[in-house]
Amino acid sequence: MPGFELFGEAEKSQVQDVLDSGVLMRYGFDGMRNGHWKAKELEKAIAERMQTKYAQVLSSGTAALTVALQAAGIGAGDEVIMPTFTFVASFESILAIGAIPVLVDIDDTLTLDPLAVEQAITPKTKVVMPVHMCGSMADLAALKAICTRHNLLLLEDACQAIGGTYEGRPLGSYGDLGCFSFDFVKTITCGEGGALITNNEAYYKNADHYSDHGHDHVGSDRGAETHPFLGYNFRISELNAAVGCAQVQRLDEFIAIQKEHYSIFRYALTGIKGVTFRRVPKGGVENYSFLNFFLPTEELARKVHAKLNEVGVDACFYWYDNNWHYYRKWQHLTNLKTLGRFPQEIINGLPNYSTADFSRSDVWMGRTISSLVKLSWTKEEVEKRAQQMAQVITDVLRDI
Ligand SMILES: *Cc1c(COP(=O)(O)O)cnc(C)c1O
């Protein structure tokens, strides 16, 4: 997955442009910048590639989620439905605006189960936030139908699946708003960075102003600009955006490499009795950043994972035990461990997660292993890895 593996001349040359002018900020200083507007250029490239009217580049993926929620008018006490399997950024962005993260079970897509989503809707629900984890997507048609029926927003977290598609449309562009991360380990990187995309002009304008202290960005004198509403600073720097300008041009090249490697792993594991693959919803195409597969039981998944580590097959994840990506280890959320006192709306509204039953998620997560698909592996390395994975799994499953 990580774009940093293929950092090269194009990235350096983009950064050099910024260093040559010395304008490290995305707004203002028009005369000094030699025509370089890296953040704006990146926004244009992202909107074009993702086939949306608007893109707003931000300081991180977490910032993108936070700004997307604010831009759509979500606030204190509103409920946002999110999956039990995701990165902690999902609930961080929801809590940051005083809203309530409502955790909901996943199914064999490893993302939101539409039936469980429908059951979790209350009069306070405002947003459904599917997270397209590990390269593949949620059942977006089913989720959109639910959102339409209940008048809810669909906000796609496509941070781990950039470049994948659903019904022929880029992931992130199907919902009302979509978010990407360009942190150091994502498919394309800015070092740190993120973006939101939308076709809704009001949301875009809100995002543009909100992420820069409420600046309305009218005219060319920053000091004279007005502030129609309160904002914050979620700006990206020109240096980071410059890296993104080079990386976004390489997205399709990266995905082609991932697909090639993924296909070799998939072929090697197909047909091993007891191995099944994560379901990709009808109409979906992965971005191939991970190969995700199920073993018959939790015990066997643990055995296979341990054995893979033992023989040196690195970058295989057993998310069920992971501190950052699965609800079981989110005790800081469960116990609401905060530095200062949180808004009363959150304290009152947060479900009691210490007694919640997510056994329907456990059934899938406990049996899942995810193999990262790296860009820098040689064909020989990929083939050796595929063969080792197949061997380990076959050995473990032989006795069942
Ligand atoms: C990486 C990631 C984020 C957050 O992105 P940052 O740029 O690291 O803040 C959000 N959601 C998911 C699913 C991610 O993988």
Q: Which amino acid is at 397?
A: L
pLDDT at 361: 98
Do 361 and 375 have their domain in common? yes
Do 242 and 268 have their domain in common? no
CA of 128 to the centre of ligand 1 (A): 17
Do 373 and 270 have their domain in common? yes
Do 212 and 280 have their domain in common? no
- For ligand 1, atom 6, which residue shows the shortest CA distance? 61
pTM greater than the 0.95 cutoff = yes
CATH label of the domain that carries residue 358: 3.90.1150.10
Atom of ligand 1 nearest to the CA of 193: 7
DSSP assignment of 19-87 equals HHH---SSSS-GGGSTT--HHHHHHHHHHHHTT-SEEEEES-HHHHHHHHHHHTT--TT-EEEEESBS-
Residue of 57, 129, 136, 186 to mutate, ligand 1, most atoms within 8 A of C-beta? 186
**CA distance readout (Å), 2 to 14, 99, 184:** 19, 31, 7
Using a 10 angstrom Cβ sphere, with 0-12 exposed, 13-18 middle and 19 or more buried, the burial of residue 317 is: middle
Beta-ladder partners of 103: 82
Residue 91 to residue 95: CA distance in whole angstroms = 6
Beta-ladder partners of 195: 57, 180
User: Could you list the pLDDT tens digit for every one of the 400 residues in the chain?
Assistant: 787 888 899 999 999 999 999 999 999 999 999 999 999 999 999 999 999 999 999 999 999 999 999 999 999 999 999 999 999 999 999 999 999 999 999 999 999 999 999 999 999 999 999 999 999 999 999 999 999 999 999 999 999 999 999 999 999 999 999 999 999 999 999 999 999 999 999 999 999 999 999 999 999 899 999 999 999 999 999 999 999 999 999 999 999 999 999 999 999 999 999 999 999 999 999 999 999 999 999 999 999 999 999 999 999 999 999 999 999 999 999 999 999 999 999 999 999 999 999 999 999 999 999 999 999 999 999 999 999 999 999 999 997 7
CA of 61 to the centre of ligand 1 (A): 5
DSSP character at residue 188: S
The residue out of 215, 250, 285 marking a domain boundary is: 250
Do 154 and 284 have their domain in common? no
Atom of ligand 1 nearest to the CA of 192: 7
How many domains are there within the chain?
Answer: 2
- Which domain does 243 fall in, by range? 3-250
pLDDT at 4: 87
Do 191 and 211 have their domain in common? yes
Residue of 82, 88, 159 to mutate, ligand 1, most atoms within 8 A of C-beta? 159
Task: Tell me the two tokens of residue 60.
Answer: 């991180």
For ligand 1, is residue 162 a contact (CB within 6 Å)?
no
3-state secondary structure of 123: coil
For ligand 1, is residue 191 a contact (CB within 6 Å)?
no
pLDDT at 1: 74
Residue of 181, 188, 319 to mutate, ligand 1, most atoms within 8 A of C-beta? 181
The residue out of 201, 221, 250 marking a domain boundary is: 250
- For ligand 1, atom 2, which residue shows the shortest CA distance? 159
For ligand 1, is residue 60 a contact (CB within 6 Å)?
yes
Catalytic residues: 186
Task: Tell me the two tokens of residue 309.
Answer: 């580590």
For ligand 1, is residue 137 a contact (CB within 6 Å)?
no
For ligand 1, is residue 67 a contact (CB within 6 Å)?
no
Do 317 and 350 have their domain in common? yes
Q: Phi and psi dihedrals of 238, rounded to 5?
A: -65, -30
Do 230 and 267 have their domain in common? no
CATH label of the domain that carries residue 63: 3.40.640.10
Atom of ligand 1 nearest to the CA of 133: 13
Residue 252 to residue 287: CA distance in whole angstroms = 10
Do 229 and 264 have their domain in common? no
Atom of ligand 1 nearest to the CA of 185: 1
Do 196 and 109 have their domain in common? yes
Do 272 and 229 have their domain in common? no
For ligand 1, is residue 160 a contact (CB within 6 Å)?
yes
The residue out of 250, 282, 305 marking a domain boundary is: 250
Do 356 and 275 have their domain in common? yes
For ligand 1, is residue 62 a contact (CB within 6 Å)?
yes
Atom of ligand 1 nearest to the CA of 93: 10
For ligand 1, is residue 159 a contact (CB within 6 Å)?
yes
Q: Is the dihedral of CA 167, 170, 172, 175 positive or negative?
A: negative
